[in-house]
Each structure stands twice: as structure tokens, then as C-alpha cells.
Amino acid sequence: MQRWLPLVVDEGQPALSSGTLLRVGQRCCLVADGGTVLVSKGAAVSAALATWLAPSSAVTDFSNLEGRRVVAAGQLQDRQFVVAKVQAGPHVTPPARQAAAYTVVEAGAVTGKSSRHWLARSSVETELMKQGALLDIWQEEPGRWIALAADADRVATRLSSHYGDALQIVTSRWESTLLDQLEATLGETEIVESIGRKIDEDHQMRVDAVLLHLPSHMAHRLDRFPADALDLQVLVSPLPG
């Protein structure tokens, strides 16, 4: 668990959470950059990257903090954050925008990582991916294609005749089945805010996940996976010191 220790916090332990404070009806939440809250008739329909504040918090009057960047200290209880102390920064919330009958409230700049996946697969590429030999293939720039392969020799044999010198094969550090298992392990909990895959600048595919918090039991389970295969962020982190 040592590799994940800086992120580990269980319910009831001292913790921090930050984001833009939004009020939805009688409830308040802290929305991280890139997060959204979908509101209909004054109630939250869904939320992403949002930490809901418990009504039992020691600090309950958030009226002067709405639309401001907030850092809150407290603890998690039943997946809600019980606020003991709060520190506010400047107003950062952009104007809300309408979406059909709903209002989508976004906080801060969108920081999501753009995918470079190419969706128009050939039958050969699809076959290689089903076999686990190929994780992905995309056009890095005009005239240059990159294939991320678990079996570089097989991918080269099947694709070189089509792409020729334009194809660069990068060997993956792990098989796609490992990423499948990693996603499944994280997905067994109710604390996943978002999960997917991304390709980083080193041309390696990783699981990209945001959790409400990282409990110790999950940190132990993640130890069986290569740490570099997961880019993990949390909305609630341990209180320093």
C-alpha cells in the first residue's frame, strides 16, 4: 500500500476537499475543475467530480461562499463530507448554460485529457485488438501512425504492408487484460467519479480514474497492479500532518 499511501483516507479520518462551492436546492457541493452538476427543477439529477457536503457539518452557512473556490477540512461520513473548517478563495464559477430542460453548472476550466484514439478500425486492426496483440493505433501526425502493441512482431507482420514506413510500433508495458482487470477492480466500489483510458506522451495506455477517496482496502487491492498503469486522482485527500 506504500505507493498509494499519500492518497489513502478512510471514512472518519481527518481529510481535505476542495473545489467550487455550489448550492443545489438545500444541498451544497464542492465541484472540482472539469466537474459538472446537472440540475432540473432545483434538484441535482446527476453530478460528476463533486463532493457533497453533509448537512450535519459544523459549518453549515455557506451562503457567502457560493461560486468561490473553497478548501474544506473535515471527514467523510457515508460518502458525504462533514465540514469542520473552511477557507475560501476568489469567485471562479463561469455562467451556467442551458441544456434542454436542464441547467449544467460547470466549475473551473475543463482539464480532461483529450483522447488520441482513431475510431475507424480496419478489420485486421479489430482482429488484432480482439486477440490482445494490439491495444490501439492512431495517427500521431500526417504521415505517421503509431501502433501500441502487446505483441510487436505479430502487429508488424499484419500491418506493415498497409502502413509501410509510416508505421511506428511501440511496445506496451502491459497487456490490455491487465487494464481490464484494473478497471474492474476500481469499478467494484461506489466511490468512482470517472474512469476510462488515456494515452500519454510516452505512448503508453493507462487507466485514468477519479475516486471520491482512496480507502485503505482499495489501496491494498491496487498493490497487485503496476502503479504506472494507473493515473489516479481523488476528490478527498488526507489532512497533511
Q: What is the mean pLDDT of residues 197-224?
A: 94
Residue % of the chain over a pLDDT of 70: 87
Q: Which 3 state secondary structure label does DSSP give 72?
A: strand
Residue partners of 123: CB distance under 8 A and separation at least 6? none
Q: Please give the pLDDT value at position 38.
A: 84
Give dist(CA 154, CA 169) in Å, integer: 11
Confidence of residue 91 (pLDDT cuts 50, 70, 90): low
Confidence of residue 35 (pLDDT cuts 50, 70, 90): confident
Give dist(CA 3, CA 22) in Å, integer: 33
Out of 3.30.420, 1.20.120, 2.40.50, 2.60.40, the CATH code matching 2-106 is 2.40.50
Q: What residue segments make up the domains of the chain, in order of their start?
A: 2-106, 123-171
Residue % of the chain over a pLDDT of 90: 59
Q: Which long-range contacts (CB under 8 A, 24 or more apart) does 47-50 make?
A: 48/193, 48/194, 49/19, 49/193, 49/194, 49/210, 49/235, 50/19, 50/22, 50/193, 50/235
Examine the pLDDT at 98 and tell me if it is beyond 90.
no
Q: Please give the pLDDT value at position 105.
A: 44
DSSP state of 169: E
DSSP E strand boundaries for 111-164 = 134-141, 144-149
* Nine cell digits for residue 103: 441547467
Q: Which 3 state secondary structure label does DSSP give 227?
A: helix
Q: Please give the pLDDT value at position 37.
A: 85
DSSP state of 91: E
Global confidence as pTM: 0.84
Contact indicator for 98, 84 with CB cutoff of 8 Å: no
Q: Which amino acid appears at position 188 of this protein? A: E
State which H helix or E strand residue 74 sits in. strand 68-77
* Nine cell digits for residue 106: 460547470
Of 64-73, 113-122, 144-153, 209-218, which gets the smallest average pLDDT? Answer: 113-122
Residues 113-166: pLDDT tens digits?
333 445 567 889 999 999 999 999 988 888 999 999 999 999 999 999 999 999
Confidence of residue 96 (pLDDT cuts 50, 70, 90): very low
Of 15-24, 116-125, 202-211, which gets the smallest average pLDDT? Answer: 116-125
DSSP state of 112: P
* Nine cell digits for residue 11: 471514512
CB atoms within 10 A of CB 167: 17
Examine the pLDDT at 25 and tell me if it is beyond 90.
no
Confidence of residue 92 (pLDDT cuts 50, 70, 90): low
Examine the pLDDT at 106 and tell me if it is beyond 50.
no
